[in-house]
Chain A
Amino acid sequence: MNLQLLLIQVFNGLVNGAFYALLSLGLAVIFGMLRIVNFMHGALYMLGAFVAFALGQTLGLGFWPSLILAPLIVGAFGVLLERTLLRRLYGLDHSYNLLLTFGLTLLLQDLVKQEMLSQFAVSSAPYTAPASLAGVVNLGFVVFPKYRLFVIAVSAVICLITWFVIEKTRVGSVIRAATENPVVTRAFGINVSAWITGVFGVGVALAGLAGVLAAPIYSVEPYMGAELIITTFAVVVIGGMGSILGSVVVGFAVGVLAAIGAALYPPIANTLVFILMALVLLVRPNGLFGLPEGAR
């Protein structure tokens, strides 16, 4: 393979990396702050895409309003779930919330499938990029869809904002305190339970946002999150469970590596991330950016 083609693939890999980063970021926020292994994240990503599609079908809303509304709706749905179901499991073993979120995933996929079957097609729902981002742009070394450039940009900005808020602002320090030591934080007059709900809602909204961004690229179908979530979990593990920086950096890196893999030796594209995970865990059991439990 020549150098130009390799460069093109590196660049192309950033698009998938953008999705991995957004999704693993949400997972990392939820796990890092609340210690919930949210297996439902892929289904919520699918829900984001489906809500955007449904908003278009029923209310005639285009891409731009959906880009704001769909994550809000998915986030609100997350808040509802946290309030009614997840919070009952906080004191229990991780396997309980894994089972619950897995069950909810199956439920959500089937509900969406029924809805889509009754309308027209379960294999996909049509959704295209807005006119302003349609078409391709010649970057000199490659002709690339404008919309994909937009996805890379949005993802990078959102990741940066999230990292900044959690690591550098007072809001972030309250969240970290509330999850590190809820009793003391409560003693300062802070409503810990409300903060936890809020953090979960934001993490879930990030998955919804990724879903809306994905709708014009991938097909909108009930199982679109099922495959992605496995890779995303691998990204979170490589980056270090709960590490914000790790999830973002590794997310983009895995996207790029998979694209190079797909170009050099296609069969390895989907396996590469797991090989990487095995290697990283051998050397650094807490992941690249992770710290040992209790040392945060």
Chain B
Amino acid sequence: MNKRILTALLLSTASMSLAQTAKLSDGIIKLGVLTDLSGVYSELSGAGSVKAAQMAADDFMAANPGYKGKVQVLGVDHQNKADVASNKAAEMIDRQNVDVLLDMPTSSTALAATEIARQKKTVAMVVTGGTTALTNENCNKYTFHYAYDNYMLANGTGVAATRKGGKSWYIIYPNYAFGQDLNRQMTAAVQATGGKLITPSEATPFPNTDFSSYLLKAQSLRPKIFGTMQAGADLVNVVKQYNEFGLKAQGIGLGIGLLFETDIAALGQDAYAGALATIPWYWNLDQRSRDWAAKFEKAFGKKPTWAQAGVYSAAMQYMNAVKRAKTDDSDAVVKALEGYSFSDFFARNASIRPQDHRVLLNVYTVEVKPKSQAKEPGDYFTKVATIPASKAFMPLSESKCKM
């Protein structure tokens, strides 16, 4: 027999025996981070999310020597466009053999990419996209929703702010899927807690730079809370102009729907001081979080946002599920994930709801502290309330998910 054929045979039997211990489709667990590498969400997710996934891969391999060299990370730019996200998701799964899609900022791209993942029977873990549709009308067997969603944001901030005396609200929201959804959820949460809307919520153009009309209206309506469902650059504009018009001094508080650490960095924390928001994690939550954040900062050069920390956690939980299932076959991994309970540096008291694949975890309503109270750079938040995992998310009874 030819020597080369013999070696090939030997190698293939060797790899087959390897595959016996962990049946990996192509011998590799490939984590595909589908994210915004160039646009408005690139700093809160983007390259930092790819780095977080890489850290998770490295940590997983170090802890599980059997998988050494078998985890790879691929970062792909979806440009926040649904059509691009669809194409890239299909390409990642078909051509690059990606086993799981992660991150997916922007609700529209998350919905588009998870639909492709469903068709191709590939696991998708949405971390940065917020729409509750992912675990409701658009839920499916292969999609998991990690970290946060609009219901949890509204439920946390709406309830906490109303309880703190914010009985009357004036809410504005950007007129697209995310904003409309968040406004609905926020309005419901405020009303359920005994608060009321002074005037029906107002849709603003999206994107928008000038919010003075709404701020002047708030001035004359005098609500206790001016609620803004804007996100990213639009939120930064709202907050800047909220301060410019001196609304805080006029006794009008600020309630924020979706807040990332990078929005605070963009204006300085004093601009946000006193504002309430709900987040799934922050880097100086406790020692365990600080330790991880320090590692991330050393590797990436910047402190992690909660979105990036969430990507690490989601990637790690996916790999752990592969390990439990002893294969990266999607159906088996889904089975290993469903109903699983865990607690890591990011997700506390966490479990994965089998009926709609909502990942439940403790979340925190925080108040942004003024710079004078910050003990170190990036020390932004005072914890107002911990919302236990069982209370933070939409109860199953309200879910529209039919899986």
Contact = CB atoms under 8 A, between A and B. Distances in A.
B262 A123 contact: yes
A219 B237 contact: yes
A121 B265 contact: yes
B112 to A, nearest CB: 23
B246 A219 contact: no
Interface string A185-228: 00000000000000000000000000000001111010110011
Contact of B237 (A4, A129, A143, A218): A218
A120 B302 CA distance: 9
A124 B209 contact: no
A228 B207 CA distance: 11
A123 B219 contact: no
Contact of B42 (A12, A117, A129, A263): A117
Query: What are the 10 tightest A-B residue pairs by CB atom distance, in nearest-first order?
Result: A124-B266, A262-B213, A136-B246, A124-B236, A121-B266, A270-B205, A219-B236, A145-B244, A123-B233, A121-B265
Given A125-B266, A224-B209, A269-B205, A147 B245 contact: no
A153 to B, nearest CB: 17
A129 B241 CA distance: 11
A266 B266 contact: no
Nearest to B220: A5
A216 B244 CA distance: 9
A65 interface: no
Interface in B141-186: 175
Given A123-B40, A125-B266, A218-B237, 17 more contacts: A5-B216, A12-B213, A117-B43, A121-B266, A122-B43, A123-B262, A123-B266, A124-B237, A142-B216, A142-B219, A143-B219, A217-B240, A218-B210, A218-B240, A223-B233, A267-B175, A270-B205
Contacts of A4: 220
Contact of B266 (A126, A145, A263): A126
B103 interface: no
A128 B222 CA distance: 25
A136 B271 CA distance: 16
A249 B40 CA distance: 34
Contacts of B232: 123
A68 B374 CA distance: 35
B203 A267 contact: yes
A101 interface: no
B268 interface: yes
A9 interface: yes
A136 B244 CA distance: 8
Given A263-B213, A270-B208, A124 B267 contact: yes
Interface in B175-218: 175, 202-205, 207-210, 212-214, 216-217
B173 to A, nearest CB: 10
A217 B241 contact: yes
A69 interface: no
B77 interface: no
A16 interface: yes
B300 to A, nearest CB: 13
Interface string B262-306: 110111100100000000000000000000000000000000000
A165 to B, nearest CB: 30
B119 interface: no
Contacts of A16: 210, 212
Interface in B206-257: 207-210, 212-214, 216-217, 219-220, 232-233, 236-237, 240-241, 244-246, 249-250
Interface in A135-180: 135-136, 142-145, 147-148
Nearest to B221: A5
A250 interface: no
A8 interface: yes
Nearest to B249: A136
A122 B40 contact: yes
B236 A266 contact: no
Pick from A144, A145, A262, A263 the residue with the most CB of B within 10 Å. Answer: A262
A135 B266 contact: no
B216 A12 contact: yes
A112 to B, nearest CB: 13
A266 B202 contact: yes
A253 B214 CA distance: 20
A232 B212 CA distance: 19
Given A12-B213, A218-B209, A121 B244 contact: no
23 contacts: A9-B216, A12-B212, A16-B212, A120-B265, A121-B43, A123-B40, A123-B263, A124-B267, A126-B271, A136-B246, A144-B245, A145-B245, A218-B210, A219-B236, A219-B267, A221-B236, A224-B209, A227-B209, A228-B209, A263-B217, A266-B204, A266-B213, A269-B205
Contacts of A79: none
A15 interface: yes
B359 to A, nearest CB: 27
Contacts of B246: 135-136, 143, 145
B358 to A, nearest CB: 28
Contact of B245 (A124, A129, A143, A266): A143
A266 B220 contact: no
A259 interface: yes
A120 B271 CA distance: 17
Pick from B208, B213, B245, B250 the residue with the most CB of A within 10 Å. Answer: B213
Contacts of A262: 213-214
A145 B242 CA distance: 10
Interface string A87-127: 00000000000000000000000000000010011111110
Contact of A122 (B42, B210, B214): B42
Contacts of A263: 213, 217
